[in-house]
Amino acid sequence: MKRTYADLHLHIDLKDSEKVLRMITKASKLGYRLIAIPYPASVTEEEIQTLQNTCREANIDHASRVDLKPRTPKELIHYLRRLRRKFEIVSVVCETKEVARQAAKDRRVDLLRFPSFDFRRRYFDRAEAELAHKSVAFLEIDIKPLLTLEGPTRIRLLSSLRRETATAQEFGVPIVLSSGISDEILMRKPKELAALASLFGLDEASAIETISRNPLTIVKRNREKLSPKFVAPGIRIVREGKDC
């Protein structure tokens, strides 16, 4: 069966409508069938619908996403209460250990992200992985820094990614490989993106899962939860009426 490839992090300025259209069109031509572009928390339903229509015209599916950058666990909980049911994907940028731990154990969080350039704040360790496994959170890795960094900084990032990837696999935490790209020139075909994962220890089969089954699992799961027919995991309203 033919695979469906996804890029859950096209980092595009939504105010630049021409660039948005170009990058969506290029993503479709490269072979992606699902993309996500982070929205500001204040985005309206009409704005989301407009982008969905643009993606539909380019023959590509669109998942709404928000990237949260809380300073404290309390702030994270506040954001999640307010925004979880507004977006299909909720990502948390973990810039402190306290936020990382709260995000990893909260079932409302889909993706855990860590700073690419400050290696002292990459908190994905064994304790983090154990919490993420229990809450079914995924570890997201952006490829963009590997394309743009050079020298010792790139080497240190690869070292961190090898350690984090090994920890994620040990604890059964799924990995999502995204581009994080904001420029057309850096966009890559799905299998080219997956090939870069060999730099930090993923074999070919595992790398392909990070851009196909894993991101699709998140979107499918959350679309079911956001459906008005959803009652609880495994329970859906099939039919309503007095004669049911």
pLDDT in tens, the chain (244 residues): 689 999 999 999 999 999 999 999 999 999 999 999 999 999 999 999 999 999 999 999 999 999 999 999 999 999 999 999 999 999 999 999 999 999 999 999 999 999 877 777 899 999 999 999 999 999 999 999 999 999 999 999 999 999 999 999 999 999 999 999 999 999 999 999 999 999 999 999 999 999 999 999 999 999 999 976 554 555 656 566 666 5
Q: At what angle do helices 97-105 and 126-135 cross, to 10 degrees?
A: 30
pLDDT value, residue 244? 53
Q: How many CB atoms lie within 10 A of CB 218?
A: 26
Tokens at residue 22, please? Answer: 């170009």
Does this model's pTM top 0.85? yes
pLDDT value, residue 242? 63
pLDDT value, residue 121? 83
pLDDT value, residue 231? 45
Are 31 and 57 contacting, i.e. CB atoms less than 8 angstroms apart?
Answer: no
Tokens at residue 207, please? Answer: 């790398």
Tokens at residue 81, please? Answer: 């209460």
Segment 137-190, tens digit of pLDDT: 999 999 999 999 999 999 999 999 999 999 999 999 999 999 999 999 999 999
Domain map (residue ranges) of the chain: 5-236
Which fold would CATH assign to domain 5-236?
TIM Barrel (3.20.20)
HSE, CB side, 13 Å, CA atoms: give it for residue 123. 20
Q: At what angle do helices 97-105 and 73-83 cross, to 10 degrees?
A: 40
Question: Widest CA span of the chain, in angstroms?
Answer: 69
Are 89 and 111 contacting, i.e. CB atoms less than 8 angstroms apart?
Answer: yes
Sign of dihedral through CA atoms 111, 170, 106, 97? negative
Helical segments of the chain, H only: 17-30, 45-57, 73-83, 97-105, 126-135, 144-148, 151-171, 190-195, 204-210, 213-226
Instruction: List residues bridging with 39 in a β-sheet.
Output: 66
Residues in CB range of 123: below 8 A, 6 or more apart: 94, 96, 97, 100, 101, 114
Tokens at residue 131, please? Answer: 């919490």
pLDDT value, residue 240? 62
What would you report as the CA-atom Rg of the chain, rounded to the nearest whole angstrom?
A: 18
Q: Dihedral through CA 131, CA 223, CA 215, CA 171, nearest 10?
A: 20
Rounded alpha-carbon distances, angstroms, from residue 104 to 81, 119, 196:
16, 19, 26
Reduce the DSSP state of residue 211 to 3 states and report it.
Answer: coil
